[in-house]
Amino acid sequence: GNNIGDWMVEEGYYIKVNEDVLLQVQSNTPLTTPLSIPLGVGWNIISYPCLESEQDALDILQPLIDLDYLDKAMDQYGHALEKLAFVTENNGWYNGIGTMRAGQGYYIKLKQPATLEIACPGQDQLPKLMATKEIASPKYFMRERGNPYMPMNIYLNDVKIDGQTLASGDEVAVYDGDLMVGSVVIPNELSKQSPVPIIAGMDDGSGNGFTKGNAITFKVWKASLNQEVQVSMEN
């Protein structure tokens, strides 16, 4: 049965599929902006309505930050925009989402109810676009990619092995017991201003993620040594 009803342009939706597929959605209703999206306390799921352009996620969510209403935001892949104690730029707000774009869903967690307005560039304002590069995929700690169920964000900003900071091309994996639940390639030298996020997904009932409450461990593969090494975590 259909308990969702009609799809709304300002809302996001969960869809679980057995294999990758392109879902085509057509609308005959012209979209006018700014679009007002009502948000409640806690987690909300929204879509990005502007088909012709992308916008910096921090710019869009800044009004919620100024009100001190925003707790955290994530895209459908688990990349997060949140305030981190060790980040000094943007008043401590780290933008792991980058740009918001059409066809993507976003989680918004609020402390207080509010209305978010999104104006499409070219209609109401000029866009602020963010240049992004393709994120490298792990080769040693390979795992199936997809949209993680209930993502957990882990930030690496000072990981050392025998006193040596991880280098570009090294890989870090997160484990729940023997199950790898997340991995990442180090793209650059780690610092408090450019932490490297690992996204670990919770088990959705298929045995494909971490179990809440379980301890997690880390493994590291050093590219220069071409081998897995023991890791010591330092703050």
Helices (H), 33-161: 57-66
The tokens describing 113, both together, are 């109810």
Contact 226, 167 (CB under 8 A): no
**Backbone torsion region of residue 207, taken as left when φ is above 0, otherwise alpha when ψ lies between -120 and 50, otherwise beta:** left
Type of residue at 157: N
Which secondary structure element, helix H or strand E, spans residue 198, and what is its range? strand 196-201
Beta bridge partners of 196: 156
Q: Which of 204, 228, 229, 200 is nearest to 78 (CA)?
A: 200
Contact 196, 187 (CB under 8 A): yes
Give the model confidence (pLDDT) of 118-131 as tens digits: 888 765 444 444 44
For the cut 70, the answer to whether the pLDDT of residue 3 exceeds it is: no
- Calculate the average pLDDT of the chain: 79
Q: Quick one: 2 exposed, middle or buried, by C-beta within 10 A (0-12, 13-18, 19+)?
A: exposed
Count H helices, E strands: the chain?
1, 18
Give the model confidence (pLDDT) of 46-82 as tens digits: 988 888 788 999 999 999 999 999 999 999 889 999 9
If DSSP states are collapsed to H, E and C, what string results for 150-205?
A: CEEEEEECCEEECCEECCCCCEEEEEECCEEEEEEECCCCCCCCCCEEEEEEECCC
Q: Which of 104, 100, 120, 105 is nearest to 33 (CA)?
A: 120
The pTM of the full predicted model, rounded to 2 decimals, is 0.65
Type of residue at 182: G
Q: How far is CA 104 from CA 12, 147, 154, in A?
A: 8, 11, 22
Give the model confidence (pLDDT) of 114-168 as tens digits: 999 988 876 544 444 444 445 678 888 887 656 777 888 888 877 766 666 788 8
